[in-house]
Amino acid sequence: MKEIDFIQTIKHSLVAGSIAGCAVDLSLYPIDTIKTRLQEKNNLNRRLLFSSLYSGVGSVLIGSGPSSALFFLGYNLTKQTVYLSSQWQTHMIAATLGEICACLIRVPVEVVKQRAQVNRNLRLLTIAQSCLRDEGLFGLYRGYFATLSREIPFSIIQFPLWEFFKESWKKQQNQDLSPWQGALCGSLAGGIAASITTPFDVAKTRIMLAHHSHTDAASHSLKIMKNIFQQEGFSALYSGVLPRTMWISIGGFVYFGAFELATSLFFSQNSQI
């Protein structure tokens, strides 16, 4: 791969990825807040379910762009450097490496964000300081592997489907897709992946909110899912499935739409995604 291609891939991933991450998280943050509150163990006063829906949004402003940029950096570089017989396998490996990179930023941001969504009266800085003081750096990375166990299955479903839908549509109309068409492909792929991986999301949320429970925090996500099934029933594994699926389907349209639009505006002659 030529150096100019390498540099252009980095620029494309960082710029378009940052725009996409900020666009989707800021526009759909309230739905994510409702989902998080529905997944919390404690009984929730329904009157408070829809209050302060932008609690913790400051952490999103800090983390959305960088984490999304890191994902696309890992994803696009892998696509350009790993050559397998199956495009599905290439996209799955690329998505896996992209998530490993992105979660280095995404997990601390989500830990602070989700605690802010549940504890609406606390400031983000207070939550972060309390976490570091009481739990150390590990506290900010609570649920890292649980997050990977959710994000990797999600991404190895979503991104190969996104690429497949785009390629199929491109062949059908015999021309490149417009940004809104790429966005629609992302929305469909995201909705499918979201519904399938909801139990992983429930387990990840429980672990991140378990700052008062060392047992939950130390448990593997599969063990958490087993405990939820035994203690609360099968339906608890799909707590928040409708808001999650709706959020990611709509979010997929915004996310991939913003990425495709940024690509068409700034990198249309250089992007190969």
pLDDT in tens, 213-262: 444 444 577 788 888 888 888 888 998 899 889 878 998 999 999 999 99
- What are 111-141's pLDDT values in tens digits? 887 777 677 677 777 888 888 888 888 888 8
Q: Residue 4: which residues within 8 A CB-CB, separation 6 or more?
A: none
Domain ranges of the chain: 144-239
Six-digit token pair at 25? Answer: 């998280």
Give this prediction's pTM.
Answer: 0.76
pLDDT at 49: 63
pLDDT at 48: 64
Cα–Cα dist 231/188, whole Å:
33
Cα–Cα dist 98/81, whole Å:
13
Could you tell me where the DSSP H helices lie in 119-197?
124-135, 137-140, 144-173, 179-196
Cα–Cα dist 15/169, whole Å:
26
pLDDT at 215: 41
When comparing pLDDT for 4 and 171, which is higher? 171
> Rounded to 5 degrees, what are φ and ψ at 175?
-165, 165
- What are 23-55's pLDDT values in tens digits? 988 887 787 777 777 766 555 566 566 667 777
Question: What average pLDDT does the structure give for the chain?
Answer: 83
When comparing pLDDT for 147 and 178, which is higher? 178
